[in-house]
Each structure stands twice: as C-alpha cells, then as structure tokens.
Amino acid sequence: MPTVYEKLTLYGKAQIDYADIIARYPWIVQRNLNCILSPDSDGLLCGLLMTHFLDWRVRGFYDGKILVIENGIVAQDCVFLDMEIFRSHVRSVGQHMLLYNKNNTPPNWKNFGNCFAPNNVRGYDASHDFRLKYPFGTIHLLIPVLNKIQKLEIPTTAITPLLFTDGTWMNLLQYTENSLDWIHFLQADDPGNPLHGIFLNDHYSLHSLMVAMDEFLRKRDKISVPRERGDRIAITIRGGEGLPHNLERDGETFHFKDEAKKRGEAFIRLLADLTDWKYDSAKWSWGKWMLYRFTKGDFASSRLNGQTFASLMARNPLSFAITSSQNLEYTIEEPDLLPS
C-alpha cells in the first residue's frame, strides 16, 4: 500500500510529466483565478506570467510574516505563488525543500496535496537529498506547464531576469552537476521546451552574459533605496513591531505608500519590458488590503532533526521551508488571522 508521501510524488521518474502535473493540479492552467505572490523577483515574475497569459488577478502578497489581501477576497480562493501553503484546501506552487525524512512522513503530510513543489515531486528530503534540492525559481516550473496548453516564446531579453531570480545563474555555476540534473528533469534540454532558450541558449557567451547581467543589476539598483533592494517589495515589519513601514492605514484597510508603490511598479515594468509579459495594473491590487500578521520562527537556536521536525508538524504550521541542512523557517497561523 503506497504511503501518502508516495502518492504525492513522481519518485523514480527521470523526467517530469507535465501532462500528469496538469492532471494533478488542473487549476494551474485555469483562467481568471486570483493569486497571492511572494514579494520578490520570483513571485513578481510568476504574477506577470499568470496575469498576461491566463488573466489571473493579483490580490495580495505574503512574505512569511505578513499577509496583505484585498478586502472581500478569501485566501483559500487564491493560488499562492512562490510559497508552499501547508493546507489541503489552499492551492500553492513553490520551490523550497519541505520534508525532513521521507522514511518518517508526518501524518498530516496530505496538507500538501494541493501544492505543486518540485522536491516533493521527486521525493527529495533534507535528510537524504539536501544537496540535490531544486536550484531554480518557481517561474521555471510554471513556464513549461503553461507551454502545454499554449506555445510560449521566451525572448532573448528575458534571459537575464529569468536567470537572475532566486540566484539561478549563480547556482548553475556553483552547483553545476545538480543544475544539469534538474535541467534534464524539467525537459529543458528539449528544444521544444521554452526553458531551452533560457538554460541552453546560444545567444550569450559567458562574458557577454556577465555584461548583460550587470546591465540588468544596474537597472535594478536605480530602483533600490537604502536597506531595500529594487527587486523586491518590502512588506515585513521592520524591527518586528508596529505598522509595516511601506504601508498606510485607511480605516480598516491598508495600502502601499506612493513611493513604495512606484518602486514596486518600476521593477515590475522592467520585468515586463524584458519578458514581453504585459503589466496590466488593473489586474494587480495595491490597496484596500486586509493585513494579517503571523508568528514566524526558525531552528537557528536549536537543531533540525526528526524529533524537532515532528514537533513542528504537530503544531500545523501555515508554511515553512528547510533553508539549510540544520535550519528551518516556519510560520504559525494565529487564531482567526487567515480568512477562511
């Protein structure tokens, strides 16, 4: 009898089966859905992709500490992009390492039954496979899935932002063997796969790619301000207490301050110009947000092992990610904070 974990994986397969992924998670290619993004370059690229091709609507952002969501929108009716949500009734796509030991799967692991996560797909865990974990971004998962229902052409101008996000280009050089394995697993070595033009492009030499990446980073830096890089939207409370410094209260709801919104939109427009994925501001929510604050923690002062992982799973965290072989960051849902 297969375990819950085995039912949720494609363990042992040499390459991903995108048709099977769509069969498991048909909502990924459904039109006119609401989504919530992580507020960094990967999440913003995912938002651009889905709003451009599938007419999704960005209803808010979640950074692991703060959730802002448009008033009247229910979180479980949204798809979380670039963040795995440990709730079976919430749809999500992410790319983090999640399981500690596949030989001792938590009894509530079915909470990820509605989550597309590549390390889970391959049956990888931190105890046995941390060095083999997925090295790219969530955007690199979504592109070939969408390509199964409509042909996606990736312009050469999109190579730099798609290699920049989540340190992908650095991982290609630093973790070459693992990156090559995942390129094959994602079928990016197939010329018909749109990832082929990103990872196997013949447009750049190594030096010319360095120059192009430097040009992209300088454009990013023009958007940056002290203590806030231009490739992300800062939401989390600075110092841990009080109102997030980029938000303003408007009665019961919140909105971005004008300067913060301008910076966020400037980077999104930069990504849109390079990818040819249109930024339609009408599809993105920048205010009338309800704000929910969660309890965030990690194992920095303790040790990640089977016992501590099991204890955390018993607390039913909202989201979490194993960030190193010794540490895990998690978010605990406080009572009545997440709309349901």
Q: Is 41 exposed, middle or buried (0-12, 13-18, 19+ CB in 10 A)?
A: buried
Helix orientation angle between 139-147 and 41-54, rounded to the nearest 10 degrees: 20
pLDDT(196) > 70: yes
Q: Could you give the 3-state DSSP secondary structure of residue 263?
A: helix
Q: Measured between alpha carbons, how far is residue 28 from residues 91, 145, 266, 291, 309 in Å?
A: 9, 8, 27, 26, 29
Q: Would you give the distance in Å from CA 7 to the centre of its chain?
A: 23
Tens-place pLDDT, residues 283-293: 999 999 999 98
**Taking a C-beta distance cutoff of 8 angstroms, is the pair 99, 321 a contact?**
no
Report the run of H or E that residue 61 belongs to, with start and end.
Answer: strand 57-62
List, in order, residues 6 or more apart from 241 with CB less than 8 Å away.
none
pLDDT(10) > 80: no
* Beta-strand pair 34-37/78-81: parallel
Q: Rounded CA gap, 93 and 18, in Å?
A: 14
Q: Rounded CA gap, 314 and 106, in Å?
A: 8
pLDDT classification of 243: cutoffs 50, 70, 90: low
Q: Would you give the distance in Å from CA 194 to the centre of its chain?
A: 19
DSSP 153-212: ---GGGHHHHHHGGGHHHHHHHSHHHHHHHHHHTTTTSTTSTTHHHHS-SS--HHHHHHH
Q: Is the C-alpha dihedral spanning 234, 238, 242, 248 positive or negative?
A: negative
Which amino acid type is present at position 10?
L
Tens-place pLDDT, residues 261-276: 999 999 999 999 999 9
Helix orientation angle between 258-275 and 41-54, rounded to the nearest 10 degrees: 60
Specify the pTM.
Answer: 0.93
Q: Rounded CA gap, 209 and 203, in Å?
A: 9
**Helix and strand totals (H; E) in the chain:** 13, 12
Which amino acid type is present at position 301?
S
pLDDT classification of 339: cutoffs 50, 70, 90: very low
- What tokens appear for 116 in the block? 């597309």
pLDDT(203) > 70: yes
pLDDT(340) > 50: no
pLDDT at 336: 43
pLDDT(73) > 70: yes
Q: Please, what is the end-to-end C-alpha distance for the chain in angstroms? A: 34
pLDDT classification of 162: cutoffs 50, 70, 90: very high
Q: Return the domain boundaries, the chain.
A: 4-297
pLDDT at 227: 82
pLDDT at 234: 84
Angle at 86 between CA 77 and CA 255, to 5 degrees: 50
Tens-place pLDDT, residues 164-193: 999 999 999 999 999 999 999 999 999 999
* Other CB atoms within 10 Å distance of the CB of residue 95: 24
